[in-house]
Structure 1
Amino acid sequence: MSGSLVAKVSRTAARYGMDLSRPLALVSGGPDSVALLRALVELEAEPVVLHVEHGLRGAESEADAEFVRELCGRLGVRFELRRLRFESKANLQAVARRERYLLAEEIADSHGCAAIATGHTADDVAETVLLNLARGAGLRGMGGIPPVRGRVVRPLIECSRAEVLAYLGELGQTYRTDSSNLEAEYARNRVRLEVLPVLEELHPGAGANLARAAALAREDLEALEELAAGLVRERGEEVVLEVRRLEEVPPALRRHAVRRAYRTLSGDPLPARIVAELLELVREREGTRVRDLPGGVVAAVRYGEELVLYRRREEGRDAVELRPGEFFYAGWRVKVSEADFDSEDARRSEVAYLDAGLGPYRVRLAREGDQIRPLGLGGRKRVFRAMMDRRVPRDRRGRTPVVVDGTGRVAWIFGGELGEEFRVTPRTRRALRLEVEDLHGGG
């Protein structure tokens, strides 16, 4: 059994490209993490062990730390102990897990470890799948725990807990038992202690079957994600989905494309309910429809042509003084120079010539209430109205820069109208030439 478990770990590492030459191993002292450490040593790896002591079980927690320290000493493995304390007990398991992984990243960096190895087994995958299904998860939730996520690797992911215990028994290796794993107040504990045993009675090998089904679901998910990637493109600070292309693919692929677009900006999953709302919004053909999403992301459907996601900008973006040179502002590239007036050049929408003597000028985002006297039209016009007339999407208007003088009067709307009073005339001594490029692609 010993040889077969270590061989299985080696095959898993090769299959998923895990670098186990010098991993940081998270070892709690329980059977899974102890088996992980022993298997790494048998594979002639050079692990560094991190034990995180949360102080939640008093003397028992201290004994766990001492057990792992002594084990590392016998195996000749470097041992790192860190203590974490939490003031609030709310959502304690999730908070502890997040802090533990953040700490592991720091320790791995300090020791030059390419991977962070955990002791998750096939049984953990089965438990996760059942919990996720009970919550109404889709294909991603059915995939359970991935073998590799970033630099976190799980070499025991294809081994059952029974195989782990048998392996430790053959070695005569003791381990610690976390008493909190027997407390029924935690959902995972109830699945482990009550649900899975019943499933095993009804269908022997149920846990392994669930883990295998999860692996198949992950493969299907990877295929869908690859197809979805072809529907998503980045345009400056925006992530864009063309409605026409979305309508050409099956509904499942549409959902994956929307989720992928959101993860490009936030890195987090988007709830199915919100995905459905956005796809319903895509049916709108008139104007611009905007929705605020979790994580500071905004979604806009523009004229039924594209679904665009971008990060919400904080109010009060600082104004920038216009000086000769090049700079970036709110997703635009801006080039400023002193130049002789060129009437042909001035006809380009991305170019403006201003009377430099009426400056200094600044660039800021357009605001509700801003007005401009458009060149050659006579009278005044609201800046947002001018943009609307040019079919600038509603969600882009407040994110479009304008040039203003020292008193706040609008001299030019990027890509649009020039203020009558700021034009270059025969009396102008110096002309300021501005050329801008919309890095959003003009969408």
Structure 2
Amino acid sequence: MLQELSNHINHNLPFLKGKKLLIAISGGIDSVVLTHLLSALKFNISLAHCNFNLRGKESDLDEAFVRELGKKLKLNTFVTQFKTKEFAEENKQSTQIAARNLRYDWFDKLIKDHQFDYLLTAHHADDHLETFLINLTRGAGLDGLTGIPEINGNIVRPLLKFSRNDILTFAKENNISWREDKSNASTKYIRNKIRHQILPVLKEINPSLLETFAKTTEHLKESQQIIEDRIKQVALEILITDNNYIKINIEKLEKLSNPKAYLYQLLKEYNFTEWNDVANLLAAQSGKQIFSKTHTLLKDRDFLFLSKKLSTSTVDQSLIEENTIEITEPIHLKLESVIEKSAENNQTIYVDKKRLDYPLKLRKWQDGDFFYPTGMTGKKKLSKYFKDQKLSLLEKQNTWLLCNNNEDIIWVVGYRLDNRFKTTQQTKSVLKIAIL
């Protein structure tokens, strides 16, 4: 197995050579064997072990075992302890999800603090098949059926082509000891049910199950690549990127063979889960919105507008005191006194300082707001101005107004200056305000 792994890395994972690697080690057979293999191959490795305090004395014995292994192989060993059950209760998560989140957050910190290049985990071919079957029972799409990726960002799984039996054989032949987690024998969890009750039957039906499954996943990945190529082509035809929004042309989308399937592929990375609601948005009235954990999808006339969710900490208004030269919240503005005006545009205005009454105020627009747009005669309701500019509901919601202390609108930020504040030949003091 040592030579096989060396060949596999040379041909498929050559970027690991000479890099600083961190192995996620539990003390179980898989991660212990990975550690011995890479140590024998002279890779630059360190160990990272999490004590989740979920199995009493057993958890402490796992930790002691990993520390001793690190000492024996002369490897840097990082160990941390978590109060996993308390964290899970506080964050309303299952124990498994809580442990995963704690583990990977800590790994990320170690990688950043100690400049590791890659995190290695000891997932193997049986894990791959188990994950496929779990996802299959949950009704996963093609992404879920392609299983565990060998490379996922800075996470690499060098043992993914090897079976559980390969690992066990190597451990026994080389007198390698490891810690056995007794919970792995329990069928309480779905993965263990599949491992102990379903896989033995499937392997009895097909003794070469892992090999045929590897071919199946390869075919699925090839199909997935074809889909991704097609989605890139469709995106060029129906998506418009506009400032902080992505606009999806509904008319063009509905001309495709399966609009719902295309919509899923276009939006799957934005954390939406209620896909029927997303699809129903195509025929919904303007103003209807769907939310994911991170994004908002809004129906507005002929388009779906996708945008990042505003942070819950975002303020509805902000005051700007006299002599302020820059603000970063709720938007990034720079204010400076100038002698001469340069080119004026939607991102930069010049105002007569004499007409300003501090503190200025940044706020969202409200029904009844009006201003005196430059280049026009008289006043105009902001709602009518937005309609004339054909702004979407999302664009209206994200528009800020810069107002005088008496609430007179100075600037519809990013769109139009108010006539009352523009500079004239009599202006002696000019303030430049620019969006950064």
The aligned residue for residue 401 of structure 2 is 402
| Post-superposition offset of 1:121 | 0.6
Deviations 1:263-287 (A, max 9, x none): xxxxxx432x33x433442456x7x
User: What is the deviation of 1:353?
Assistant: 5.5
Identity of paired residues, percent? 23
Q: Secondary structure at the match of 1:365?
A: strand
Q: CA deviation at 1:349?
A: 6.4
Match among 235, 241, 264 for residue 255 of structure 1? 264
- Where does residue 205 of structure 1 map in the other structure? 208
Aligned to 1:187: 190
Written as runs of structure 1 = structure 2, the 5 A alignment for 1:330-369 is 338=338, 354-360=351-357, 362=360, 364-369=362-367
2:159 is matched with which residue?
A: 156
**Where in structure 2 are the equivalents of 1:158-307 lying within 5 Å?**
158-229=161-232, 231=235, 235-243=242-250, 246-247=253-254, 251=258, 252-260=261-269, 262=270, 269-271=271-273, 273-274=274-275, 276-283=276-283, 288-305=286-303, 307=305
Range 10-19 or range 33-42, more displaced: 10-19
Alpha-carbon spacing, 1:383–1:115, altered in 2? closer, same or farther (3 Å): same
Distance 1:352 1:71 in 2: 66
Work out the CA distance in 2 between the residues paired with 1:14 and 1:233: 40
Deviation at 1:136, TM superposition (A): 1.1
Separation (CA, whole Å) in 1 of partners of 2:329 and 2:10: 46
Are residue 113 (structure 1) and residue 116 (structure 2) matched?
yes
Deviations 1:348-378 (A, max 9, x none): 7667564432204635232324522435655
Runs of 5+ unmatched residues, structure 1: 263-268, 438-443
CA deviation after TM superposition for structure 1 residue 76, in Å: 2.9
RMSD: 3.5
Q: Aligned partners of 2:244, 2:138: CA distance in 1, in Å?
A: 34
Q: 2:265 is aligned with what amino acid?
A: H
**Greater Cα offset, 33-42 or 76-85:** 76-85
Which residue is equivalent to 1:98?
A: 101
Higher relative contact order (CA 8 A, sep 6+): 1
TM-score (norm 2): 0.82
Equivalent-residue separation in structure 1 for 2:353 and 2:145 (angstroms):
63
Structure 1 305/63 Cα, relative in aligned 2: closer, same or farther at 3 Å?
A: closer
Residues 206 and 124 of structure 1: is their aligned pair in 2 closer, same or farther, counting only changes over 3 Å? same
Structure 2 runs not aligned, ≥5 long: none
Task: Tell me the distance in 1 between the aligned counterparts of 2:365 and 2:377.
Answer: 22
Q: Could you tell me whether the CA contact under 8 Å between 1:354 and 1:431 is conserved in 2?
A: yes
Shift of 1:57: 1.7
Q: Secondary structure at the match of 2:54?
A: coil
Q: Which residue of 2 aligns with 1:265?
A: none
The TM-score normalised by the length of structure 1 is 0.81
Paired with 1:71 and 1:41, the residues of 2 have a C-alpha distance of 11
Q: How many residues align?
A: 419
- Secondary structure of 1:37's counterpart equals helix
Question: Is this contact kept in 1: 2:29–2:179, CA < 8 A?
Answer: yes
Letter aligned with residue 132 of structure 1: N
1:395-427 deviation line (CA, Å, top 9, x unaligned): 221311222111222233235555464455676
The amino acid across from 1:395 in the alignment is L
Match of 2:53 in 1: 55
Give 1:37 shift. Answer: 1.0
Aligned residue among 65, 70, 76 for 1:72: 70
Q: Contact 2:29–2:178 (CA<8 Å) still a contact in 1?
A: yes
Partner of 2:390: 391
